[in-house]
Amino acid sequence: DPSWLWDVEFERLRGRRVTATGDRAADLAVRLRYAEVDCDVWDGPLVELLERSSDPEIDVLANYTVFADLMRAVGARA
């Protein structure tokens, strides 16, 4: 249920680099468009996206399950 997307103040992300990924990436991209936030959509694994980034700092907003999986993947690669 993507209704929660409308409860979040995504407008605060304006001017930041944002990439939507995961099962609800398209829903998030629509919501970000309404919030006037430019975003890319990534259709691959999140850990791969992070590996490709040259940004020195990356903020990840994820649910508990995705974040826990990401931490395991990053730990396995370290």
Structure tokens at 78: 């370290």
Cα gap 67→64, rounded to integer Å: 5
The percent of the chain in helix, strand and coil, each rounded to the nearest 5, is: 55, 10, 40
Q: What are 66-77's pLDDT values in tens digits? A: 889 888 888 876
pLDDT of residue 69: 87
Q: What are 15-27's pLDDT values in tens digits? A: 999 999 988 899 9
3: enclosing H helix or E strand: none
Bridge partners of residue 40, in order along the sequence: 19
Segment 1-10 mean pLDDT:
89
Coil, helix or strand at residue 29 = helix
pLDDT of residue 78: 62
Q: What does residue 21 show for φ and ψ, rounded to 5 degrees?
A: -150, 165
